[in-house]
Amino acid sequence: MVVKSEFEKLGLQTISVELGEVELRESITENQKESLLKNLQALGFDLIDDKKSKSIEKIKNLIIDLVHHKNNELKTNLSDYLAQNLHQDYNTLSNLFSEVENTTIEKYFISQKIEKVKELLIYNELSLSEIADILNYSNVAHLSNQFKKITGFTPTYYKQLKDKKRIQIENL
């Protein structure tokens, strides 16, 4: 809504506003683009203009959406999923991502999964086995090993750290 209103303030009519992408009814002038960039940056947003950056953002958005919003309901492998959704060869996407981000798509995907695990551990509503199942880990040991490799902590220890930092309501 914030992004859409910034476009409207400049008299630009949007067709659609999605995560990382805006479709306009008419083309944008350089002056409008500069004003828009300044206004969006003040709000913590940025314009992505070049083709490489757009592709990288699309890859990241698909992975984030998959891990954080679709509970990782992946029906194919990640490479096929990205290639199908972006209508590009996976090797091209992978090389571009690695070149620009200095990490692989796979490592980015794993880091997003670990962030989701952290979130679910903090909520303390699911067992580690349920979390492993939700995020398509083959077993709890695989999740635990990957978690420790990325964070340096076991999931159980990470959960205890969170508990120690919390102040019980009656102690406030």
Q: Which residues contact 15 (CB under 8 A, 6 or more apart)?
A: 23, 24, 25
- Structure confidence by residue, pLDDT tens digits, 90-137: 999 999 999 888 999 999 999 999 999 999 998 888 999 999 998 989
- Structure confidence by residue, pLDDT tens digits, 7-63: 888 888 888 887 667 777 888 888 888 888 888 888 887 766 667 788 898 999 999
- Predicted pLDDT at 167: 47
- Predicted pLDDT at 169: 47
Mean pLDDT of the chain: 85
Amino acid at 44: G
Please count the residues of the chain: 172
Q: Which two tokens stand for residue 83?
A: 């290639």
- Predicted pLDDT at 29: 84
Q: Which two tokens stand for residue 152?
A: 């340096």
